[in-house]
Chain A
């Protein structure tokens, strides 16, 4: 016998079937299109932004994120279930499309049938198992949402509709198949190729053919209506994420990771800076709200949220969506709330994990820009003071600028003003220049460079803050002032390479300054020192010690540098015990996003929480790569009362302690 089946069995393939079927499909598509167009109008309230450049890269992102589900399955459990559900449902959709293609096109017009023979057998079992998998995964997700109810998961009527509709489509599909098989396929060699269908057929076996045919025909139309309803409601329910989230992976920010937009301060026609209303945002910021699936991954990883601060990156995104569709004139900053806006550490955990390519951080910075540049508002007076200090002395600590290079006296290194013929310029940064604890890191780094025969120069009193904390706090004007001065100073010396011991300086010089025609290579000391060791220039004793390593946000998530620091620890003989939240899942120290300048006076202390995570590894040292992290951890070990158990250290210190004489 030929392995195939009669398409439109029992419902007929005549006008009375096809006309209502395609008629209703058309209605569903029109409803879908109208719903989408209505939303499109709302996206257009935002400012223009080109997100259709670099199409190759964008298409690759689309394929990766949608068809391979790479971002989705990063979170085991719900992510896995969604991916498997997507793939199986996608297979079912393709299967349905193949049926339509044969019955209403190739067979109808050309008499060509391809759903036959071995291909049909494979087709049959694939769809059958896909259906089963889809039901299983949907069931799992349903149990999670309605029975397990994970903390923070927001469940709305939308979710019930989605679960119900999809389950109904899948189950009716199997019942239709079972009824058809009970009448036509029982005992044939084809039957085992639809194991779930066969099982359903057995369950329905007691009914006579007449009843089976009535059931089949009724359910066939019902299944069709459900499927069309599914298509029609896409723009009106969270189903819209099928379109918006997919589209967003094409429209995503292609980087460099975390780089903010640079305001053109020369443009005198700009009268408003930052965002205080919906129309100050870019259309992508509004679209993001529609792409959000409320999966709460961002919220789960937000250090501010985890310590009881009024910020949830998910809520910010949803609030933007809410006012966009209900009251676009509303004040954005009042809606989101100032305390939420100020709480962000720009740690990028939200954006990094987001399966919907949403850009949370930029939105928060835009609101901060408005508060700072238009209102002169800061999270506290201490931040305003730090800004003023930076204007006067080039550092937020308020130390006299002329003493910036004092830490290096007697180390045998010169400023570029004294001698600009150097191998590398060490851009020291404010903390390593003025803060006693971090001066020790700067000295260690210089010691390592000297041991490796690297001639290091510094800018001394000519160095100023790179502007990173000010920029992240919203003070774009002060940032650009500092950036332009720094670019001019460094370029003036014909520097070949820059090394920083601060990932914030590194990120700013390497990424942000590109907007000011600055293209001198910049390295973070972790990478620089690793090269010195690998090339044999720097020799380190392996001297066993136990430690855990904290990935700073700006070396890790912002720059994807996870291995160099770990290699350094290993080459020094460190036994590294990882914290549960490491690498791209690392929990911020609290000081990013300009928060280093601010008091943390809402909720629990982020640094203490992170220190507790480090303590629980049982390690003796907490190694990091950032002056802000080090400062917060020195404070955190006191806050957690573990000064005797855990010593915060910088990578450079670990190595300098083990220099081969």
Chain B
């Protein structure tokens, strides 16, 4: 069995974000980097599948500048067998279809049985790459999975639906799955595996020809949400607070008019 796991390196969300010079993305200085949270679920699920089935080869793929190799090493330490890095310093400017095209270009002749991706990235959050990869490869895609089993060439997953509902979906491999929070708890790599990861194959490829992929979107601007008025906490005895509330509603809203 061959499995592909697509991961992305994203800034830690606690970082101090600044908008970059062209105003279309965040500035890279003072950021701490890590694996996209949803991609960690993807890696973990793939490694668990390998532990279940045995004869599985796990390829982890990541697109971005050279520094993404650090994040790839974590995936290798968690249990992926080999890494493929598509070196692209402009990855942050790519729209989802371009990223999906790069993944599909790599995967098209490799006969992967399952492609795991995160449900979305924590920074751009388009949630499109996984499904577009499936479309480009002509594979079924099941998104936002929160449970996964595999038996006799069929995957059975639970999808998260709006309003907390779940859908039970099954599909025969090959299939693309995008992973959501709740699917699993990613493991902490053991030291022997960290050591082994340093010696695993990590191939760097150039960005393939994307000329056939037409641009569909354009990022106009990137900005912080405007600070809106803050909440008010009323204090005091109940009748007093009720009076204050009525006063506020009259003064600032039209609900009592």
Contacts and interface: CB of A to CB of B under 8 A. Distances in A.
B12 interface: yes
A374 B188 contact: no
Interface in A380-415: 381, 384, 387-388, 391-394, 398-403
B32 A400 contact: yes
B16 A477 contact: no
Contacts of B190: 373-376
The dominant DSSP class at the B interface is loop
A387 B188 contact: yes
A134 B60 CA distance: 74
B67 interface: no
Contact of A271 (B31, B32, B185, B192): B192
B187 A398 contact: no
Nearest to A268: B195
B14 A374 contact: no
A403 B194 CA distance: 29
Interface string B11-29: 0101110000000000000
Nearest to B194: A477
Nearest to B190: A376
Given A400-B12, A400-B14, A403-B16, A392 B33 contact: yes
Given A392-B34, A393-B14, A402-B16, A477 B191 contact: yes
Contacts of A373: 190-192
Interface in A73-103: none
A369 to B, nearest CB: 9
The dominant DSSP class at the A interface is helix
B185 A376 contact: no
B30 interface: yes
A378 interface: yes
A437 B187 CA distance: 33
B185 A402 contact: no
Nearest to B77: A376
Interface in A441-475: 461
A223 B12 CA distance: 78
A393 B12 contact: yes
B189 interface: yes
Q: Categorize the interface residue count of chain B.
A: 10 to 19
B189 A398 contact: no
A554 interface: no
Nearest to A394: B32
A403 B17 CA distance: 11
B32 A401 contact: yes
Contacts of A392: 12, 32-34
Interface in B182-214: 185, 187-192, 194-195
A273 interface: yes
B30 A402 contact: yes
B191 A273 contact: yes
Contact of A399 (B14, B31, B185, B188): B14
Contacts of B194: 477
A381 B16 contact: no
A610 B34 CA distance: 39
A384 B40 CA distance: 14
A517 B87 CA distance: 38
Contacts of B16: 400, 402-403
A393 B33 CA distance: 9
B255 to A, nearest CB: 37
Given A373-B191, A461-B30, A381 B185 contact: yes
B15 A400 contact: yes
Given A268-B195, A392-B33, A384 B14 contact: no
A265 B191 CA distance: 9
A476 B191 CA distance: 9
Interface in B167-187: 185, 187
A219 to B, nearest CB: 65
B15 A388 contact: no
A324 to B, nearest CB: 26
Contacts of A398: 14
B235 to A, nearest CB: 19
Interface in B29-45: 30-34
Contacts of A401: 15, 30, 32
Contacts of B31: 402
Nearest to A391: B34
A402 B187 contact: no
Contacts of A476: 191
A373 B188 CA distance: 9
A528 to B, nearest CB: 31
A378 B190 CA distance: 12
Contacts of B14: 393, 398-400
Nearest to A274: B191
Contacts of B32: 392-394, 400-402
Contacts of A461: 30
Contacts of A387: 188
Of listed B14, B16, B34, B192, residue having the most chain A CB within 10 A: B14
A301 B31 CA distance: 45
Contacts of B188: 372, 376, 378, 384, 387-388
A271 B12 CA distance: 32
Given A392-B32, A392-B34, A400-B12, A376 B192 contact: no
Given A374-B190, A375-B190, A381-B185, A402 B195 contact: no
10 contacts: A265-B191, A373-B191, A374-B192, A392-B12, A399-B14, A400-B12, A401-B30, A402-B16, A403-B16, A477-B191
Given A273-B192, A381-B185, 20 more contacts: A373-B191, A374-B190, A374-B191, A374-B192, A375-B190, A384-B188, A388-B34, A388-B188, A391-B34, A392-B12, A393-B32, A394-B32, A400-B16, A401-B30, A402-B15, A402-B16, A402-B30, A402-B32, A403-B16, A476-B191
Closest 5 CB pairs of A and B: A402-B30, A376-B188, A373-B191, A400-B14, A400-B15
